[in-house]
Structure 1
Amino acid sequence: MPIRIPDQLPATEQLESENIFVMTEHRAMHQDIRPLRVLLLNLMPKKIETETQIMRKLSNTPLQIEVELLHTISHESKNVSQEHLKTFYRTFDQVKDNRYDGMIITGAPVELHEFEDVDYWDELCRIMKWSTTNVHSTLHICWGAQAGIFYHYGIQKHELPKKLSGVFNHDVLKPSSPLVRGFDDKFWAPHSRHTTVDAADIEADPRLEIVAQSDEAGVYIAKSIDSRHFFVFGHPEYDTDTLRNEYNRDVNNGLDVPVPAHYFPSDDPTQEPVSTWRAHAQLLYTNWLNYYVYQTTPYDLDSLGDAE
């Protein structure tokens, strides 16, 4: 949240240079407040687990947020009951006339398929196109980030020699970005994917910038210069045991997958993993909500653009 200070206070300029959001008394008196509307497009198979993880991150903020859940109708979900979907989720046709301050598009276990071969790709493209006029800021996660950066900017994903799984150390490349305000210079974050995007492809597009990157895992955070699109290629929302559960699932299915790196003590999967990423994960969501949704979204959402 911003710090409210007297008009013309000398500290204002210095605080703003440090990316600390300050609000003068004059602005505070004229600020309208309303709940933020955030749409969560949940593409993960275990929808209850994912919605719980992300809700946890969204709830740890003083902002009042109204979250709506969205699922695709062109894909039949097998790991969640139809009753749950009917009760708590909406379809695109039910929300397409609405406008939202923010939207989150999750990952999905379809990385080894070409985008066009994913059964809900056409529906997802309609949603991403609609988001450019009906959503103020969109946060894309893991495969959702690969799909989003391909759809909006034409950047291709590339298959890795083996699955990238583990918790990796990252460098903040753009410390002036409010998105990483409060981050340590180096921080840990989970990845779990079979494909990647090349940093050179992102750097070649003047509409994009890289905010954080790992020597081992590659690009972690990229964003559009206009701050309408954010791409997080890892899974900051993961619980402590999520990577372990995925690893055990893959092993039980007979897949040749590596032990998640830097995750189990001594890389021993018989030991209990310890979370080393929770604080920075929370900061990522909080900073996105505060600086790129709450502080910049129009009070009147109808001004975002005409619905399709």
Structure 2
Amino acid sequence: MASSRIQATVRQLSKTYKKKGRFELGIASELPAAYKKFWREWKVLKPAAVHFVPQEGKWKRDELTGETLPIQNIPIPLKHPAELHEGIWGGEAVIKGFQKREQHRRRVPHYWVPVLKRTVVKSEVLNTHLSVTVTDRTIRLINDHYGFDHYLLKTPACDLVSMLALKLKKQILTELMNGCPRYAHDPQRQKEVYEEYKTYLSSYTPEEIDWYGLSWYEALCKVAKQKEAANRPIPLKNVYRKNLVEKLKAAGIDGTKSSADEISTTTSWLSKMNPFGKKDEA
């Protein structure tokens, strides 16, 4: 009887006291909804399967035994090194596992690293060429999307992964939002590029574009700077000076002007107090 009461109390407490999430602690609670949307797209949304072939349906039948088994599409754990954010790997990453190299030897740890190559891609919206580190899958995806800009704009953040790709995507969206100013010298080409890519702007608001592509640390720093700018303290000397000027104006006194007699009187009085000053000769 007592154990059932304890279990009921534990269940009730577990429902009452929930663990606070990432966006509920400290200054992170002040992050706008625009960044939360990007974070869900980047970290929460399920990425496309790259290193395994997903099976459709819920059940499958074993060809040998005829047994019905559930289908489990469990993604392979991936390692994202720092070098990944310096290139565009197309969703690929480093796989850590074991490899049995000889039949009568135990398996050994092994890392499978994607083949990287340096290539040049062109961005029509930015009107520039970029030298980036890519994989064969990245080149294939760019060709499938008929251009580098289309690939970045159509691919969600969870599949782009790297900060370089996200920063470029944000820069392209900002350029489109401003009307492609890099083609200001050629109005006809500017109109053609804008008409081709303007459909991607319908998925984002200006605030979402402003917060897009920021890492967690960059977003927190941005919130801190905005908060500091909004609550910047005003020195008291500025407040007192402003109040004094207003009082002088209300009294009809101009504090910026002083008569020559007052200046000469003050100077003569100070000269008497200075022991190193020249004395008047009799």
Tell me if TM exceeds 0.5.
no
TM-score by length of 1: 0.24
Normalized per residue, the structure richer in strand is 1
**Structure with bigger RCO (C-alpha 8 Å, 6+ apart):** 1
Normalized per residue, the structure richer in helix is 2
Bigger Rg, which one: 2
TM-score by length of 2: 0.26
